[in-house]
Amino acid sequence: MKICVIGTGYVGLTTGVCLAESGFDVTCIDKDVNKIRQLNEGEVPFHEPGLDSLLKKVMVGKKIKFSNKIESAIRSNDIIFIAVGTPSMEDGSADLAAVFEVAKSIKKNLNAFKILVIKSTVPVGTNKKVAAILAGRGGKSKTRFAVISNPEFLRQGKALADYKNPHRIVIGGTNQRAIDVIMKVYAGCHCPLIVTSPENAEIIKYASNSFLAMKISYINEVANICERYNADIREVAAGMGLDPRIGDRFLEAGIGFGGSCFPKDMKALVHFADLVDYDFKLLKAALAVNERQKLLPVEKLKKNLGSLRGRTIGLLGLSFKADTDDIREASSIALINCLLGEKVKVRVTDPRAEKNMKRLFPEINYFDSPYEMADGCDGLILITEWPEYSALDFKRIKPKLKKPLLIDGRNLFDPKTMKKLGFIYEGIGRN
């Protein structure tokens, strides 16, 4: 079977490479000529563990091609996965311009029956809108295509493992012939396959991401209470998580969630709820809690240092989580903005995300080594739980600091050990 994947972001590229590994002949399309050039040279344009080597493997087997020629790719493939971005607009709604543009290209090149598979995260009703674009005036070409909603649940940093071991595959559609074909595409996956309506599939994606984000905001609020009552959120979360109705995942308190998905999808869900006159209060509160949580380290700095004007503060990590160079909606951005507003001299280090951050904040000081960064700092804030930071030699770091203050935004370190080493240690939700 031949498959075309449009969009080579981390969802599109992972999907394309994994489909090629499963034996399909895959053509990946992207508008960005630089990306296509890099991919043709066997280089992944972003950091995603394992994707580089799998890409090289499928390229050797000639199972994958990269091109920016969308028309010919549409004409020569009958299954087309759409994995283009749907970023937030100012009012919180998802920007569907890229999805509709692809739909229009497909309409122009409908030379045979085509199955469109929407992998991009799109609001409820988009499947129908895409179908309307393809049908055209009077719905003339209705018999020549089917639109399937097939949301993706993989995480950045764990994209390959999640793609290969999904918890469920959701296929939303109304055309049985197309549903059967897509079920065959996923025949190798050993997980529940949910065949449902396009609307249900679209909502499943938003409701899942928003629920997970809400869980994080909830545990973060509980953590803030723990701090005030001399309790430890790690132990509280462990005690909660043993109840299978709650579950032990996504109960890690910290300085808020980021990334290209949770905030964007929550805002879009609030927006499409608004469109039907529904005020989704819970999600609005979860978003507000997250914004407050991102700035928690500033309060902790002030508690320990008083005025921050002229202080030098070092940030360990910039990306929104470990194993990615992505800084979209990262807590580090809100923090840097706030620290700069307080006239702090900001120093940063990150194993992968420096290049992306430099575009946003060229004026701050970047360091390759956390040890060099620490030299002369009034305090450090751990932003991202990179494994290399767990292995830092704090005996070496302490004498370099003007004040041995460590704010652990991800509860990565053991408070007792850090205190024994002579640090003023502040975790999140831990006494």
User: Which residues make up the interface to ligand UGA (CB under 6 A)?
Assistant: 121, 152-156, 209, 212, 216, 250-252, 254, 257-259, 261-262, 320-321
Minimum distance between the CB of residue 416 and ligand UGA, rounded to whole angstroms? 22
Which tokens is 295 given? 């700035």
**Nearer to ligand UGA by C-beta: 172 or 254?**
254
- The angle subtended at Cα 263 by Cα 262 and Cα 266, nearest 5°, is 80
> Cα(first)–Cα(last) distance of the chain, in Å?
58
**Nearer to ligand UGA by C-beta: 58 or 154?**
154
**Nearer to ligand UGA by C-beta: 112 or 161?**
161
Measured CA to CA, the distance from residue 127 to residue 118 in angstroms comes to 8
Q: Look at residue 326 and give its three-state secondary structure.
A: coil
**Nearer to ligand UGA by C-beta: 324 or 349?**
324
Minimum distance between the CB of residue 62 and ligand UGA, rounded to whole angstroms? 29
Unique residue bearing structure tokens 């609030």: 270
Catalytic residue from among 18, 261, 338, 377: 261
Minimum distance between the CB of residue 206 and ligand UGA, rounded to whole angstroms? 9
**Nearer to ligand UGA by C-beta: 202 or 252?**
252
Please state the separation of Cα 264 from the chain's center in Å.
10
Q: What residues contact 307, with CB distance under 8 A and at least 6 apart?
A: none
Yes or no: say if 399 and 421 are a contact pair by the CB < 8 Å rule.
Answer: no
| Pairing verdict, β 405-408 and 424-426 | parallel
Minimum distance between the CB of residue 212 and ligand UGA, rounded to whole angstroms? 6
Minimum distance between the CB of residue 390 and ligand UGA, rounded to whole angstroms? 15
Measured CA to CA, the distance from residue 403 to residue 417 in angstroms comes to 17
Which tokens is 279 given? 């005020």
Yes or no: say if 227 and 430 are a contact pair by the CB < 8 Å rule.
Answer: yes
Measured CA to CA, the distance from residue 366 to residue 379 in angstroms comes to 16
**Nearer to ligand UGA by C-beta: 259 or 351?**
259
Residue 189 annotated as catalytic: no
Minimum distance between the CB of residue 65 and ligand UGA, rounded to whole angstroms? 25
Q: What residues contact 133, with CB distance under 8 A and at least 6 apart?
A: 100, 103, 104, 107
- Tell me how long the chain is: 431
Which tokens is 342 given? 């307080």
Active site positions, annotated: 261
